[in-house]
Chain A
Amino acid sequence: MHELSVCRGLLQQVADIAATHQQPQVSRIQLRIGPLAGVEPQLLQQAFTIARQGSVAEQAELAIEAAPLIVHCPDCGQDSPASLPRLDCGHCGQQQTQLKSGDELLLLSIAFPSDAHQEQQDV
């Protein structure tokens, strides 16, 4: 269960970015995680509910999108979707492929509640 460590690292990053933008609160954190990232999205969600207490992200939603597993075949030159545990080429069946997508562990974006926008709507 290293997801809590991962989550603490994430929250530190989020806090730094919020401070750079002089924002006291974060409303949404968007991640992209591949099946070969070594992090379970569900466990990360659970860890997030614990780790966010008292942080700038205490009220934030954690949105995780899944990166697809895609391999590139050096033989036939094509990309194809793959599934674990065999990352074979879907076109020619070649077993020795290269991973093109699927090990991402990315913080894509964070959103702040926008007071200015709220005021505009109120008017």
Chain B
Amino acid sequence: MCDTCGCNITPGNRHLAEQPIAQGETAVSVLQGLLSENDRIAMHNREHLGRHGVVALNLMSSPGSGKTALLERTIEALAGRWRIAVIEGDLETENDAQRIRAKGVEAIQITTGTACHLDAHMVHQALHQLDLAQLDLLFIENVGNLVCPASFDLGQHANITLLSVTEGDDKPAKYPVIFRAAELVLLSKSDLLPYMEEFSPARARQAVRQLAIDPPIIQLSAKNGDGIDDWLDWLEGQMRQHRPAPGQFRAIATSASSILK
């Protein structure tokens, strides 16, 4: 980044910034992401979570694809293993948060009103309602929507996009941005596959791979437990990858306090 004005111009992208200037104008080159304010808060969230050793995972999908049911099943499976909390995003109601709380896990409901996605600022406010020192794993259940949530970094460590078998196997081709944002794709409600002969898991997998990405894809059912072990294995991998090993906390705390000095 340039020290004088904070712009992001490098020799590699300078040609993009050099636009012809109309008469009577002076121009400044910027080359920043359009969402740099959101991204700045997202980075702050990520640092805040990292300081407490909390791994945050953002779940995105269309409404009704089984995000909450998957979380209920996951909370049951991980009881006593990791300390979990959930941030729930919905336009209205506390219904999902109540389902999570019924499992004995803290849930913060964000009601967005008319906003069709969560952004880093909303998650930042929700984080302040949680005692991060008492947590290992934070799920963020985004607003059910296959379009808008994809554009906003929340400070999560990984994105998970769900595609339920009742939605059609061409959804990755129709909504490429949200599938391209995914570190993991879940084909959910696999217990319904016998009734959904038009849905081909192979075609769904191919549609994802044709977006110039290669994320792991797990087919699962929160109802009958199919594929849940694979999902839990992936979660354990995320915990290993994003959590400092015991002993590293002290090193991070020391370097943070030396920066503050």
Alpha-carbon gap, A87 to B25, bound state (A): 40
Report whether A39 and B34 are in contact in the complex, using a CB–CB cutoff of 8 Å: yes
Q: Is B245 an interface residue (CB 8 A)?
A: no
Q: Is B158 an interface residue (CB 8 A)?
A: no
Q: Which residues of the other chain, B, contact A13 by a CB distance below 8 angstroms? A: 30, 32, 34, 36-37
Q: Is B134 an interface residue (CB 8 A)?
A: no
Indicate the size class of the contact surface on chain B. Answer: 35 or more
Q: Is A92 an interface residue (CB 8 A)?
A: no
Q: Which residues of the other chain, A, contact B212 by a CB distance below 8 angstroms? A: 71, 82, 87, 96-99
Q: Is B251 an interface residue (CB 8 A)?
A: no
Interface-lining segment among B101-109, B147-155, B229-237 = B147-155
Contact residues of B with A, CB < 8 Å?
5, 16-17, 19, 21-38, 115-117, 119, 147-148, 150-152, 172-174, 176-178, 180, 206-207, 209-212, 214
Contact residues of A with B, CB < 8 Å?
1-2, 5-6, 9-10, 12-13, 17, 20-21, 27-28, 30-32, 36-39, 71, 82, 84-88, 95-99, 103, 105-114, 116-118, 121
Sample of 14 A–B contacts (CB below 8 Å): A2-B117, A12-B37, A13-B30, A13-B36, A27-B24, A28-B27, A84-B176, A95-B206, A105-B151, A106-B31, A107-B32, A110-B28, A110-B30, A117-B23
